[in-house]
Amino acid sequence: MKLWKKDKDALQAVTNFTTGSDSDIDLYLARFDILGSLAHAAMLQSIGLLQKDELSVLSKELQSILSAIDKGEFKIEDGVEDIHSQVEWILTRKLGDVGKKIHSGRSRNDQVLVDIKLFIRGEIKTIVGSVEQLFDVLISKSEEHKSSLLPGYTHLQLAMPSSFGLWFGSYAEGLVDDLITLHAAFKVVNKNPLGSGAGYGSSFPLNRKMTTELLGFDDLNHNVVYAQMGRGKIERIVASAMGNIAATLAKLSMDACLYLNQNFAFISFPEELTTGSSIMPHKKNPDVFELVRAKCNSLQALPNEIMMVTTNLPSGYHRDVQVLKEKIFPAFRTLNDCLQMVHLMLSNIQVNKDILEDDKYRYLFSVEEVNKLVLQGVPFRDAYKQIGQDIEQGKFKHSKEVKHTHEGSIGNLGNDQIRKSMTEVLNNFSFKKIDDALAKLESQQ
């Protein structure tokens, strides 16, 4: 069944090609299509395009479909083009002419836009929750291991003393900035496109502010042409924000792979969190981190994929944007799975606390010795030269005691401020407002 069918049907080959994998991908949108329809129906009744009794039976049937979706009993039937067609077909089959009224004042264009925005909004909430959990582990580990030193590197060469407190905390603070960009994407997503129709509005006196409130949006896309132009832009902005989180996870994973290597031996994990070799019985491979690295590197390429699909499209709707769903929808699960697995690994990480006892790390303390001379009144360049000569002549002596006290250093991690920053970012997301609005919408009679 096609909503646009008139007297003649399209050639089956054309139907197959243009529909693509919509029947599978659209199941991601099923719940949100019902929520959008509940809001739209309530608005139609408010402007006289539905009677109260018609709204009542429509709402009841939509809630029945929603229940089937939540139980996993809903499917898109063979021959039905997409989720929107399936829902309208069920309503028409059960309610007759009342079911046919649901599409008044909207197009599949704004219908799919609102579905996608509701879906992405929900996925962002899930991602934020997983980021918060990982952040908490990172801060906890930072505090637990703040006195455990490890080598710091530049150019992959030994540089200066660092600490596990700094290492864990650096990724915690990185996640704060990642969520700042995700919140910016959330603000773009959290605007209501419903009522923009095919991109040029409607002659019906639609109450767009009403559907905005019913669906828990912060605002609406005011210009109906821009609402349609947002398709592709929304996905690209969100993918870019997801890419920032992915970049943080990929870098952390690379560190973990190096640090687990026997030549480093900075960290270890319980055997059940690593994998073995088919012929080398001693192996404990960091497969989780390697796969996180690969998946997150792929996620960082997603904004460019989306951009290349939509580049140079003029204003108005184009079928090109259909393929964006199959690119971005699975990406949310991929990112969330990576967040969950990194959380699992770091929750069970074991830290080597005596790394710098090895004499091969002695030159890490050269700057500490330079600074000691400076504190005694020796000009920095002279102190630098003196310690350099000591190293070259094999006379370098050092202490392994590190006294760093400024903000964000080994002895003053600043985790309280980092946690405060994360709390401020988390509080900017209006998830409670959304949850309350959708719960009220689902229960309307």
Which pLDDT score is estimated for 60?
Answer: 96
135 and 34 part of one domain: no
- What is the domain count for the chain? 3
Of residues 182 and 26, more confidently modeled: 182
Residue 212 lies in a domain: no
Residue 148 pLDDT greater than 90, yes or no: yes
320 and 397 part of one domain: no
User: What integer best gives the mean pLDDT of the chain?
Assistant: 94
The string of pLDDT tens digits covering residues 119-145 is: 999 999 999 999 999 999 999 999 999
Q: Which of 103, 127, 147 delimits the end of a domain?
A: 103
Choose the weakest-confidence range: 83-87, 212-216, 329-333: 83-87
Output the six-digit token pair for 429: 């997301």
418 and 393 part of one domain: no
Question: Are the beta carbons of 129 and 82 closer than 8 angstroms?
Answer: no
- Domain CATH code at residue 262: 1.20.200.10
Distance from C-alpha of 180 to C-alpha of 26, rounded to nearest angstrom: 29
- Domain CATH code at residue 46: 1.10.275.10
133 and 77 part of one domain: no
User: What average pLDDT does the segment 282-296 reach?
Assistant: 94
Residue 347 lies in a domain: yes
Which pLDDT score is estimated for 328?
Answer: 96
43 and 149 part of one domain: no
Q: Which of 103, 123, 150 delimits the end of a domain?
A: 103
**Coil, helix or strand for 149?**
strand
Residue 82 pLDDT greater than 80, yes or no: yes
Q: What is the 3-state secondary structure (H, E, C) of 321-360?
A: HHHHHHHHHHHHHHHHHHHHHHHHHHHCCEECCCHHHCHH
Residue 211 lies in a domain: no
Residue 3 lies in a domain: no
Structure pTM? Answer: 0.93
Q: Tell me the one-letter amino acid at 412.
A: N
134 and 230 part of one domain: yes
Distance from C-alpha of 256 to C-alpha of 166, rounded to nearest angstrom: 15
Residue 313 lies in a domain: yes
Residue 241 pLDDT greater than 50, yes or no: yes
Q: Give residue 262's domain range.
A: 108-202+221-357+414-442
Residue 53 lies in a domain: yes
User: What average pLDDT does the segment 371-385 reach?
Assistant: 97
373 and 332 part of one domain: no
The string of pLDDT tens digits covering residues 252-277 is: 999 999 999 999 999 999 999 988 77
306 and 336 part of one domain: yes
Residue 373 lies in a domain: yes
- The CB-based long-range contact list for 78-82 (8 Å cut-off, 24+ gap) reads 79/1, 80/1, 80/23, 81/1, 81/2, 81/3, 81/15, 81/19, 81/22, 82/19, 82/22, 82/23, 82/26, 82/108
Q: Do the strands 219-220 and 267-268 form a parallel or antiparallel pair, or are they unpaired?
A: unpaired
Which pLDDT score is estimated for 2?
Answer: 53
Residue 106 pLDDT greater than 90, yes or no: yes
Residue 4 lies in a domain: no
316 and 377 part of one domain: no
User: What average pLDDT does the segment 338-349 reach?
Assistant: 98
Beta-carbon contacts of residue 159 (< 8 Å; ≥ 6 apart): 151, 152, 153, 364
Output the six-digit token pair for 34: 């019902």
* pLDDT range class, residue 227, cuts 50, 70, 90: very high
Residue with tokens 């912060």: 218
DSSP-assigned letter for residue 223: S
350 and 293 part of one domain: yes
Output the six-digit token pair for 127: 């991602």
Output the six-digit token pair for 371: 């600074």
The string of pLDDT tens digits covering residues 37-58 is: 999 999 999 999 999 999 999 9
DSSP per-residue letters across 194-240: TT-TTTT--SS---HHHHHHHTT-SEE--SHHHHHHTTTHHHHHHHH
152 and 78 part of one domain: no
Which pLDDT score is estimated for 4?
Answer: 44
Q: Give, for 143, the enclosing helix (H) or strand (E).
A: helix 108-144
Which pLDDT score is estimated for 13?
Answer: 77
Question: Are the beta carbons of 128 and 426 closer than 8 angstroms?
Answer: yes
Q: Tell me the one-letter amino acid at 408.
A: G
275 and 348 part of one domain: yes
Q: Which of 103, 131, 165 delimits the end of a domain?
A: 103
Count of C-beta atoms within a 10 Å radius of residue 144: 13
